[in-house]
Amino acid sequence: MDKEEEFKTMEILNGLVYCNTAKKYIPKNITISSGKIQRIDLNTKSDPASSSSLKIDAKNCIVTSSFTDCAVRIKEPGSEYKGTMYSELKSAVAGGITRLVCPPDTDPVLDEPGLVKMLINKSIEFEKAVVTPLGALTQSLEGQDITEMGELFEAGCIGFSQANQPIRDNQVLLNAFQYASNFDFPIWLSPRDPWIGRDGDMHSGLTCTRLGLKGVPDCAETLSLVTLLRIAEMTNARLHLCRLSSLESVEIVRKAKKQGLRITADVGLYYLHLTDLDVGAFNTNCKAIPPFRGQRDRDALTEGLLDGTIDFICSDHTPVDIEDKMLPFSEAAEGQIGTELLLPLTLSWAKRHKIEMHEALNLISTKPTTILNKEISRVEEGAVANVTIFGVNDSWILEEQTLLSQGKNSPFLGYEMHGKVHATIMNGRLVFLKN
């Protein structure tokens, strides 16, 4: 729906809600008003005398807390031809997402409080999903001068990042960690060596050699990771590691967590499904930062999620103009869209590894929200109504015309997806309803 609607009261009828006691999903009716869940009961019939302005038939659908996506590029300001605030927020709520984290690599970079406030205020105007930006760790993301983190935090930033830009000077990195630690500001960084593999196209390996492309070895990630962890230990800073991709990285983070470091980590959605083999015949939709690695790496990422080494899944949503993906592989832009695929690809990953659905959903809802230190949405009486309703058995073909995102860059175009969002409710307001 193009415009969210506000109703005095809503009823979600016959929706399947997970019951912790019974350890299964049970059909229930949910009444929402004044932005909150007022009533949940087992009565599977709607009250004809109800004064609800809206009734949503959720028969055979899962009703769960809405999703949080901690890596969504909305491409505004500066790259509106790739994606606008409006198009990407529509895409987010169509994927059941009501809160998203925006990296600072916009144009201009989010290194000034005024730019941060402008971004947040514009997102509020659309009243779809809550946008929580990351501020730039260094001016213009150039890795030289650290930003005024205090001012950026007051403007609304929830942490500080370099996006995909590494910091070459470790003294600058140390200064930034010390500054952030003094105020307990979280730092979000993707471990990426500034020199090794800097001109690489894909993961170093047999496929890379066969295709004649430049490689990015595992150590481009692990060497940087060791440095980040050592500095985090020295400064007692809060460090979030973005988009781990290798087996060695998972093992290093697992050990660091056991040592008590204040660290968390995430994995991109596509890294749970794809490997370097999927590049195939120079498929530019499989070009990513970091690159998709080998099967052992993919398996290790799943193990890391299951044992808590990796805390949650994000989409790493990056709309790319079609012309930038039609270039030769070495020249093509990196990135994949993901907000509308966060649910179905998480469900398919969980099914493949025999993971309980409610546990998989926690990886895209409860756990990322916890990292942000935000109130966790729950489907329970008295809670704020942040709710996603989806058909777990709904099958659909991923096609360009079905995507609401302005970007159409996904390796899964033409594939059958399972799981479709029917409705998304944010703070008691209907922000998406499936046609």
Tens of pLDDT, residue by residue, the chain (435 residues)? 444 455 678 999 999 999 888 889 999 999 999 999 999 998 656 555 455 688 999 999 999 999 999 999 998 888 888 888 999 999 999 999 999 999 999 999 999 999 999 999 999 998 899 999 999 999 999 999 999 999 999 999 999 999 999 999 999 999 999 999 999 999 999 999 999 998 999 999 999 999 999 999 999 999 999 999 999 999 999 999 999 999 999 999 999 999 999 999 999 999 999 999 999 989 999 999 999 999 999 999 999 999 999 999 999 999 999 999 999 999 999 999 999 999 999 999 999 999 999 999 999 999 999 999 888 889 999 999 999 999 999 999 999 999 999 999 999 999 999 999 999 999 999 999 998
In this structure, the answer to whether residues 274 and 401 fall within a common structural domain is: no
In a domain, 204, yes or no: yes
What Cα–Cα distance (Å) separates residue 33 from each residue in 6, 214, 233, 406?
10, 56, 47, 33
In this structure, the answer to whether residues 366 and 389 fall within a common structural domain is: no
In a domain, 2, yes or no: no
Rounded to two decimals, the pTM is 0.94
In a domain, 73, yes or no: yes
pLDDT digits (tens, 9 = 90+) for 354-413: 999 999 999 999 999 999 988 888 999 999 999 999 999 999 999 999 999 999 999 999
In a domain, 358, yes or no: yes
pLDDT value at position 7? 66
Domain termination residue (choose one: 347, 371, 395) = 371
Domain termination residue (choose one: 371, 390, 414) = 371
In a domain, 4, yes or no: no
Whole-angstrom Cα distance, residue 207 to residue 279? 8
In this structure, the answer to whether residues 429 and 320 fall within a common structural domain is: no
In a domain, 277, yes or no: yes
In this structure, the answer to whether residues 401 and 291 fall within a common structural domain is: no
Backbone angles phi, psi at 153, to 5 degrees: -65, -45
Number of domains in the chain: 2
In this structure, the answer to whether residues 301 and 234 fall within a common structural domain is: yes
pLDDT value at position 5? 52
Annotated active-site residue in 316, 321, 324, 394: 316
In this structure, the answer to whether residues 117 and 177 fall within a common structural domain is: yes
pLDDT value at position 43? 64
In this structure, the answer to whether residues 257 and 334 fall within a common structural domain is: yes
In this structure, the answer to whether residues 195 and 51 fall within a common structural domain is: no
Annotation marks residue 316 as catalytic: yes
pLDDT value at position 363? 98
pLDDT value at position 22? 82
In this structure, the answer to whether residues 286 and 328 fall within a common structural domain is: yes
pLDDT value at position 407? 94
| Segment holding 248, helix H or strand E | helix 247-258
In this structure, the answer to whether residues 128 and 206 fall within a common structural domain is: yes
**What is the residue range of 256's domain?**
66-371
Strands 130-133 vs 135-136: parallel, antiparallel or unpaired: unpaired
In a domain, 132, yes or no: yes
pLDDT value at position 77? 85
In this structure, the answer to whether residues 273 and 353 fall within a common structural domain is: yes
Whole-number mean pLDDT of the chain? 93
In this structure, the answer to whether residues 16 and 121 fall within a common structural domain is: no
Using an 8 Å Cβ cutoff, are 343 and 95 in contact? yes
The β-bridge partners of 390 are 62, 421
In a domain, 3, yes or no: no
- E-assigned strand segments in 229-378: 239-241, 263-268, 312-314
Q: What is the CATH number of the domain that holds 414?
A: 2.30.40.10
Q: What is the CATH number of the domain that holds 316?
A: 3.20.20.140
Query: At 364, which amino acid appears?
Result: I
Whole-angstrom Cα distance, residue 233 to residue 31? 48
What Cα–Cα distance (Å) separates residue 75 from each residue in 89, 234, 410?
11, 35, 17
